[in-house]
Amino acid sequence: MLALIGSAAVFAAPVKVTFWHAMGGDIGRNMEAMIDDYNASQSEVYVESVFRGAYPEVLNSTIASAMAGTAPTVVQIYEVGSLAAIDSGVFVPIDQFIGPDEVDWDDYVDAVMNYYRVGDTQWSMPFNSSSAILYINADMFRKAGLDPDNPPKTFSEIIEASRKIVESGVAPYGITWPLHTWFVEQWMAEQGAPLVNNDNGRSARPTTINTDTPEMRRIFEWWKELYDEGLWINPGVEDWDQANAYFMGQQVAMEITSTSDVTFLTNAGREAGFEVICAEMPVPDDVPRHGVVPGGASIWLIGNKPREEQEAAVKFLKWMSSPEQQVRWHKSTGYFPIRKSAIEMLEAEGWFKENPNFRVALDQVLETLPNVGTQGAFIGRFQEVRNILEEAFQMVMGGSTVEAALAEAKTQVERSFADYNSLF
């Protein structure tokens, strides 16, 4: 009998953890490979990963499934979904399951921790962090008489470079990026300016948005100038793939997009016969560079689950954010490593010297100054705010003045905030 009991213990089934995520395409395949390796590396936990669509869909479907009692164990939530995740009551802070000596939080990149830590509470496990950077077709730059090793650093330099590209006939447009509010958020942070009031939504839920500020007007006026001169081509609202298609099709010589595309765009450019060089985001003229808000996502733990399942999930999350796995994830995608020790490992092997494009976003984040602007906004219905600001620039493209479009956006956002805040 004792032998049978011992045998049953040895062959006990692993604890199943269900993980919902938003990683599709090549990046999703890289994530699936990591999860397969985790499952093969041990027998205590089995992770079932499920692709649930884009970030907003993952957040919304998770909250809905929790209400129906069918939620997964852990979920990848994009950074701007953080306040909605907290306010939903669906998730439990991950630090409730991690002892003070189990994870060295000081080893995590400061800017990342600055975003995801609320007061003294660590709500989620950082995983895939990104920032926006400038991609340059070096061959087209040289043909236009520009130096790709001295990339444009300011708004006016982007305009000047774009004019040379178009006037020289090298490309029909100078630059592209998706019509996406994420870039507006980054340019506000680069100026050290909060997007919303109440300390960027950190001291209290926001009640207004800072669209009537010099910082916001600088962004929209510059963007309008690029559009009016035919220097920026609109790939569509939040259309990342079309922006990449314009860059790879050499319709533009520059693209601003996520560092998560470093691997894809660098390799695709090489295969297409041109060199891709990365540079930091351009910033407004005569404004000191403050830095960026980490984009990407972190992984959140569902609260209403058996303790055994939650503890199993935390084992998986600690593995995914380990230095070794962060090195692997960075190399295969371009997301910057979230662990300082992972950065040291990459430096020791000479990775960044051989692959300088992968260093750009990391330097941009490491150089970020900690302030209310770069900490990033906490907004309950952030996607709604993004949609409103995207509609504002579409108004500008349709002939509206910047002032009128931003005033209308402010009215709509304040209405959204009031509606959300009335729930609490």
Identify which of 361, 30, 346 has the alpha carbon closest to the alpha carbon of residue 186: 361
Exposed, middle or buried, 341 (CB in 10 Å: 0-12/13-18/19+)?
middle
Q: According to the model, what pLDDT value does residue 99 have?
A: 82
Distance in angstroms (rounded) separating the CA atoms of residues 393 and 208: 19
CA distances from residue 312 to 46, 74, 309 in whole angstroms, order as listed: 9, 10, 5
pLDDT tens digits for range 190-201? 999 999 999 999
Residue 11: predicted pLDDT? 62
First-residue to last-residue Cα distance in the chain: 57
Spans of all domains in the chain:
12-130+294-366, 132-292+380-421
**Superfamily holding 132-292+380-421:** Periplasmic binding protein-like II (3.40.190.10)
d(CA 302, CA 17): 11
* Predicted confidence (pLDDT) per residue in 379-398, tens digit: 999 999 999 999 999 999 99
Predicted pLDDT of residue 4: 46
Burial (Cβ within 10 Å: 0-12, 13-18, ≥19) of residue 39: middle
- The stretches in the chain having pLDDT less than 50 are 1-2, 4-5, 7-9
DSSP for 24-62? -HHHHHHHHHHHHHHHHH-SSEEEEEEE--SHHHHHHHH
| CATH among 3.40.50.880, 2.120.10.30, 3.40.190.10, 3.30.300.30 for 12-130+294-366 | 3.40.190.10
Task: Write out the DSSP string of 316-359.
Answer: HHHHHTSHHHHHHHHHHH-PBPSBHHHHHHHHHTTHHHH-THHH
Given this model, what pLDDT does residue 58 score?
A: 97
Which residues, other chains included, contact 13 with Cβ-Cβ below 8 Å and sequence gap of 6+? none
- Residue 266 falls in which region: left (phi positive, over 0), alpha (psi -120 to 50) or beta: alpha
**Do the domains at 12-130+294-366 and 132-292+380-421 have one common CATH topology?**
yes
Q: What is the pLDDT of residue 114?
A: 87
